[in-house]
C-alpha cells in the first residue's frame, strides 16, 4: 500500500481527479483490517523506521534521547519512553519544523477565532483537556487527519464492505450521502470539537453533517429533522439522549459512535437498548486521534496497527501479554512527522483481547479500558493517609438500576459529598445506596473514618474546564505531609492490588 502525502494541503479535493484519487485511497484503507496480521506488522515496522529517521534528523530532543541506539535498530523496547511532562518541557526541541514553537502555538490557540485556520497555513493544532494535569499541545500534519477521516468512513463504519462491494457502496453514497450528526460538548481547540472543522472537501461529497451543541434546547428536534445514519457523541451525552428515546424518530439510524470518555458497561447497555443499533466506542487520545475504531460485535476497539503502535506495559514499561491488565500504555503515532510521539506514555490501563474478533477485523482489539490512574482521593485514618479509589463507589452505584450516574467530591480531607442522578421518572433510594456504599467502604477498611453525605441531584454536568464528565473530584488534592515513599505511590498506583499494597505500607 502506498503511503499518501498531500502535496497541497491548502486546496484539498478541489477537482474531480483528485476527488477520485482520494476516494480510492480512502476505500483501500479498509483492506489492512482483513490482512494477515504479520503483513500489518511489516507495514508498521517500515513506518516506524521512517519516523525514526525523520525524528533523528530533525528533532534534537529525539536525536539526544536515542543517541545510544544504533541506526536501523527495530527493537522497540530499546527506545526510551517519553512522558507528557517531557513532551511539553522540550516542545521546541521535539518538533521537526523549526517554524513551530510552543509560544507560537500558545499564542495561536489563545484566539478562539483561529479554530478553523491551519497553523502556519498547514498544521492542525489542538490541546488535550488537561484532565490529568497539564494540557498537552498537539501539532498535526494533514496526513494524520486524512487517516482519521478515512478510518472513520471505512473501519469505523459497521456496514462497510471491502473490495468491489465497497466500491458499489461508495457510488451509491454519491447519490445519497451518509448523514452524520455530531453532538459537541464544547467548542474550542479540544480535539473532539475541533477536528470536524477540518474535514477535507472531497469528504463532503459522501457525507452531510449536523453539528449541534449538547446544551441546545432544540437538540432532539434538530436531530430528528436531520435524520442521521450515524449519531456521534460522548458516552455521557449519548447516555442522556438515550433517556429521551421516546422523543426520537430515527428510522435511518445505522450506528451510534462514542468517544472521549470511558464508556461504562451499564451505559453501553442503556445506549444500545435505547437506540437498537451497533455502538462503536472509539478509544483515542488527542495525540493519536486515529488510534482505534470501535468494534460492532464486542466491547472495546481495534487498534489501527498499520499506522500506530500501542504497547500495554507494566510499571517498568515491560510488555504485558494480552488477557492481562497493564499498568499504563505507550503510543507511537506513525503518521505525525511534525511532532513525533514515540513510545509516549498515555497513562490508561488496558487489557488486550486474546481471541480473534467475531466482527472480522483482524487488527488487535482492546478488550477493556479502566479508569485513569488519577481517580482516587487521599483520606486520613488513625494509621496515616490512605488512598480511596473509585471502586467502592463504582461497586455501590454502577449497577443500581435507578441511578444513571454518580459523582464523588472530596470537600475536606475526610468529608465526601456523593451526588446521584436518577434516570427520569425514578427516585434514587438514598438509604439503599448508602447501605451499599457503607458495605463497600467497610471492605476497604475506611467506613469509620469518613464522613459521607449522599444527595440526589437533577443533573450532573460535565466539567467546564475540561469538557469531560468526572466521577471523582478532589478539592483537597495530595496531602503536603505525605511520606516520600507514598508520594511515588500517589503518582503511579492505580489498581486495587496497589491500593492494598499502599495501605499495608502505611500501617507498617
Ligand atoms: Zn471486532
Same domain, 455 and 333: no
**Residue bearing the bigger pLDDT, 484 or 51:** 51
Determine, yes or no, domain membership for 43.
yes
pLDDT at 11: 42
pLDDT at 242: 83
pLDDT at 466: 62
pLDDT at 340: 98
Ligand 1 centroid to Cα of residue 361, in Å, is 5
The answer on pLDDT for 29 being more than 50 is: yes
pLDDT digits (tens, 9 = 90+) for 227-270: 999 999 878 778 878 878 999 999 999 999 988 767 777 778 88
Ligand 1 centroid to Cα of residue 208, in Å, is 27
**Residue bearing the bigger pLDDT, 19 or 279:** 279
pLDDT at 185: 65
**Residue bearing the bigger pLDDT, 396 or 64:** 64
Cell of 448: 469509620
Determine, yes or no, domain membership for 294.
yes
Ligand 1 centroid to Cα of residue 31, in Å, is 15
Same domain, 32 and 179: yes
State mean pLDDT over 65-72: 93
Determine, yes or no, domain membership for 4.
no
Same domain, 408 and 262: no
Ligand 1 centroid to Cα of residue 357, in Å, is 5
State mean pLDDT over 331-337: 97
The per-residue pLDDT of the chain, averaged, comes to 82
Ligand 1 centroid to Cα of residue 333, in Å, is 22
Q: How confident is the model at residue 193 (pLDDT cuts 50, 70, 90)?
A: low
Ligand 1 centroid to Cα of residue 253, in Å, is 20
Ligand 1 centroid to Cα of residue 356, in Å, is 8
Integer CA distances (angstroms), 94 to 61, 74, 106, 110, 118, in order: 5, 21, 16, 22, 20
Ligand 1 centroid to Cα of residue 238, in Å, is 21
Same domain, 364 and 396: no
Measured at the CA of 405, the angle between CA 399 and CA 410, to 5 degrees, comes to 110
pLDDT at 162: 67
pLDDT at 345: 92
Same domain, 235 and 333: yes
Determine, yes or no, domain membership for 447.
yes
Within 8 A by CB and 6+ apart from 301, the residues are: 280, 281, 282, 283, 292, 293, 294, 295, 365, 366
Query: Within 10 Å of residue 229's Cβ, how many Cβ atoms?
Result: 20
Determine, yes or no, domain membership for 363.
yes
Ligand 1 centroid to Cα of residue 273, in Å, is 20
pLDDT at 425: 84
DSSP state, residue 451: E
Ligand 1 centroid to Cα of residue 271, in Å, is 19
Ligand 1 centroid to Cα of residue 139, in Å, is 30
The answer on pLDDT for 497 being more than 70 is: no
CA nearest to 330, candidates 74, 95, 84, 155: 84
Determine, yes or no, domain membership for 7.
no
- How many C-alpha atoms does 468 have within 13 Å on its Cβ side? 20
Q: How confident is the model at residue 498 (pLDDT cuts 50, 70, 90)?
A: very low
pLDDT digits (tens, 9 = 90+) for 293-319: 999 888 889 999 999 999 999 989 999
Q: How confident is the model at residue 424 (pLDDT cuts 50, 70, 90)?
A: confident
CATH of the domain at 78: 3.40.50.12780
Same domain, 389 and 500: yes
Same domain, 81 and 174: yes
pLDDT at 6: 36
Identify how many contiguous H helices and E strands the chain contains and give both numbers: 16, 20
Ligand 1 centroid to Cα of residue 18, in Å, is 32
For residue 399, give its domain range. 376-507
Q: How confident is the model at residue 506 (pLDDT cuts 50, 70, 90)?
A: very low
Same domain, 361 and 396: no
| CB crowding 175-208: b at 16 or more within 10 Å, else e | eeebbbbbbbbbeebbbbbbbeebbbebbebbbe
CATH of the domain at 486: 3.30.300.30
Ligand 1 centroid to Cα of residue 297, in Å, is 5
pLDDT at 4: 37
Within 8 A by CB and 6+ apart from 412, the residues are: 451, 475, 476
Ligand 1 centroid to Cα of residue 266, in Å, is 20
Ligand 1 centroid to Cα of residue 367, in Å, is 10
Ligand 1 centroid to Cα of residue 263, in Å, is 16
86: left (phi over 0), alpha (psi -120 to 50) or beta: alpha
Same domain, 147 and 189: yes
Ligand 1 centroid to Cα of residue 154, in Å, is 14
Highest mean pLDDT of the ranges 128-132, 407-411, 501-505: 407-411
Same domain, 39 and 95: yes
Same domain, 113 and 134: yes
Same domain, 257 and 122: yes
CB 121 within 8 A of CB 459: no
Q: How confident is the model at residue 106 (pLDDT cuts 50, 70, 90)?
A: confident
Domain count, the chain: 2
Determine, yes or no, domain membership for 420.
yes
Q: Where are the extended beta strands (E) located within 54-131?
A: 124-127
Ligand 1 centroid to Cα of residue 364, in Å, is 9
pLDDT at 240: 75
Which of the listed residues 320, 354, 370 is the one where a domain comes to its end?
370
Ligand 1 centroid to Cα of residue 32, in Å, is 14
pLDDT digits (tens, 9 = 90+) for 432-448: 999 989 987 887 778 88
Ligand 1 centroid to Cα of residue 331, in Å, is 20
State mean pLDDT over 20-39: 89
Determine, yes or no, domain membership for 411.
yes
Amino acid at each position: 500500500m502506498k503511503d499518501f502525502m498531500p502535496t497541497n494541503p491548502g486546496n484539498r479535493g478541489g477537482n474531480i481527479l483528485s476527488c477520485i484519487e482520494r476516494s480510492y485511497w480512502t476505500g483501500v484503507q479498509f483492506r489492512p483490517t482483513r490482512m494477515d496480521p504479520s503483513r500489518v506488522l511489516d507495514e508498521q515496522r517500515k513506518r516506524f523506521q521512517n519516523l525514526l529517521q525523520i525524528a533523528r534528523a530533525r528533532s534534537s530532543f529525539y536525536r539526544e534521547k536515542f543517541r545510544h541506539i544504533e541506526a536501523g535498530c527495530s527493537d522497540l523496547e530499546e527506545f526510551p519512553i517519553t512522558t507528557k511532562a517531557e513532551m511539553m518541557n522540550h516542545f521546541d526541541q521535539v518538533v521537526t519544523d523549526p517554524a513551530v514553537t510552543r509560544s507560537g502555538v500558545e499564542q495561536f490557540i489563545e484566539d478562539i477565532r483561529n479554530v478553523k485556520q491551519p497553523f502556519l497555513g498547514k498544521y492542525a493544532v489542538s490541546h488535550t483537556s488537561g484532565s490529568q494535569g497539564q494540557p498537552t499541545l498537539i501539532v498535526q500534519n494533514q496526513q494524520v487527519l486524512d487517516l482519521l477521516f478515512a478510518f472513520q468512513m471505512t473501519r469505523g463504519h459497521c456496514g462497510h464492505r471491502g473490495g468491489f462491494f465497497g466500491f458499489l457502496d461508495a457510488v451509491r453514497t454519491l447519490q445519497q450521502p451518509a448523514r452524520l450528526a455530531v453532538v459537541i460538548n464544547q467548542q474550542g481547540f479540544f480535539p473532539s470539537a475541533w477536528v470536524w472543522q477540518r474535514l477535507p472537501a472531497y469528504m463532503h461529497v459522501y457525507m452531510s453533517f449536523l453539528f449541534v451543541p449538547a446544551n441546545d434546547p432544540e437538540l432532539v428536534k434538530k436531530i430528528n429533522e436531520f435524520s442521521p445514519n450515524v449519531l456521534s457523541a460522548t458516552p455521557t451525552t449519548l447516555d442522556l439522549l438515550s433517556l429521551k428515546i421516546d422523543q426520537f424518530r430515527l428510522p435511518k439510524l445505522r450506528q451510534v459512535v462514542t468517544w472521549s470518555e470511558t464508556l461504562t458497561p451499564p451505559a453501553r447497555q442503556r445506549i444500545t437498548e435505547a437506540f437498537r443499533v451497533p455502538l462503536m466506542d472509539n478509544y483515542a487520545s488527542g495525540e493519536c486521534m486515529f488510534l482505534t475504531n470501535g468494534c460492532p460485535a464486542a466491547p472495546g476497539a481495534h487498534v489501527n496497527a498499520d499506522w500506530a503502535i500501542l504497547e500495554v506495559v507494566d510499571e517498568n514499561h515491560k510488555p504485558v501479554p494480552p488477557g492481562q491488565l497493564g499498568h499504563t500504555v505507550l503510543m507511537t503515532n506513525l503518521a505525525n512527522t511534525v511532532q513525533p510521539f514515540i513510545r509516549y506514555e498515555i497513562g490508561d490501563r488496558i487489557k488486550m483481547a486474546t481471541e480473534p474478533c467475531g466482527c472480522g477485523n483482524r487488527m488487535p482489539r482492546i478488550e477493556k479500558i479502566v479508569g485513569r490512574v488519577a481517580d482516587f482521593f487521599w483520606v486520613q485514618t488513625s494509621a496515616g493517609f490512605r488512598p480511596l479509589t473509585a471502586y467502592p463507589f463504582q461497586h455501590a452505584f454502577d449497577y443500581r438500576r435507578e441511578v444513571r450516574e454518580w459523582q464523588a467530591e472530596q470537600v475536606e480531607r475526610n468529608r465526601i459529598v456523593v451526588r446521584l442522578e436518577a434516570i427520569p421518572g425514578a427516585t434514587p433510594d438514598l438509604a439503599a445506596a448508602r447501605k451499599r456504599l457503607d458495605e463497600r467502604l467497610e471492605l476497604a477498611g475506611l467506613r469509620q473514618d469518613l464522613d459521607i453525605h449522599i444527595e440526589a441531584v437533577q443533573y450532573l454536568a460535565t466539567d467546564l474546564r475540561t469538557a469531560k464528565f468526572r466521577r471523582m473530584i478532589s478539592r483537597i488534592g495530595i496531602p503536603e505531609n505525605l511520606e516520600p515513599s507514598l508520594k511515588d505511590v500517589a503518582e503511579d498506583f492505580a489498581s486495587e492490588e496497589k491500593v492494598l499494597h499502599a495501605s499495608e505500607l502505611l500501617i507498617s
